[in-house]
Homo-oligomer: A and B are copies of this chain.
Amino acid sequence: MPDLTTIGFDADDTLWHNETLFHMTQTRFAALLADAADPAHLAERLEAAERRNLGHYGFGVKGFMLSMIETAIEVTGGRVQSSVISEILAAGREMLAHPVDLLRHARETIAALAPDYRILIITKGDLLDQERKVAQSGLGDLVHGVEIVSDKTAATYRTLFARHGTGPERAMMVGNSLKSDVLPALEAGAWGIYVPHGLTWALERADVPQGAARFRSIPDLAPLPALVRGL
């Protein structure tokens, strides 16, 4: 087997906390609309709006804000107070300004691997927001490249591992989303390492792959260097 040269890391909920922040904002959103909708119904309508709008808005906080506003109008039958809309705007801006909070083991794991492998951060979301988070993470100097993409498919990984590395066969993708990080990386011929996160956005859920020789699952990033060196 040719040696591994390149390791891609997802960012949100792989290197730093993200879904926690969305979750907190949704809790605040539910409180704002408590008179109009029970939390389960509201969450369902918001998820439907996010799915409906994904092709227009793509991933990220700005689209989430727009879908919350649309859902607030929907569940109130158009009687939403403008103060609620202002609160949604404020909550979104707070998300976009929220300090980056690295996950445990993120820095030490990347620092341990960076001398021997090309480390990439491959993330999706709003361009400016993701750039801000990479800059604030302090990981920029340890990584070979940062790619912010609109979606993560097998073609994405083929292109990026060719551009920054030596092709997908000698590359690995590490992330908390089976759907975006692991399955398409495996399909591209790379290793796919699943690092589950307690919270997973509904649109990112998928089944664990069966019988994939290059699939591994680890509970957090700490065992990754040993896993990589033991391949």
User: Are B57 and A73 in touch, CB under 8 angstroms?
Assistant: no
Chain A, interface SS category: helix
Which residues 74-105 of A sit at the B interface, judged by CB distance below 8 A?
Answer: 76, 78-80, 82-83, 85-86, 89, 92-93, 96-97
Contact residues on A (Cβ < 8 Å of other chain), bracket? 20 to 34
Which chain B residue lies CB-closest to A62? B62
Chain B residues whose C-beta falls within 8 Å of the C-beta of A165 in the assembled complex: none
Which residues 32-77 of A sit at the B interface, judged by CB distance below 8 A?
Answer: 53, 56-58, 62-63, 65-66, 69-70, 73, 76
Interface assignment of A139: CB less than 8 Å from any CB of chain B = no
Distance of A99 from chain B, by nearest CB (Å): 14
User: Are A148 and B127 in touch, CB under 8 angstroms?
Assistant: yes
A-B contact pairs, 25 of them (CB 8 A): A56-B96, A56-B97, A57-B96, A58-B126, A58-B127, A58-B128, A62-B66, A62-B126, A65-B66, A66-B66, A66-B89, A66-B92, A73-B85, A76-B82, A78-B82, A78-B83, A79-B82, A80-B82, A126-B127, A127-B127, A127-B149, A127-B150, A128-B150, A128-B151, A131-B150
Which 9 A-B residue pairs are closest in the complex by CB-CB distance?
A58-B128, A62-B62, A128-B150, A56-B96, A78-B82, A127-B150, A73-B82, A127-B127, A80-B82
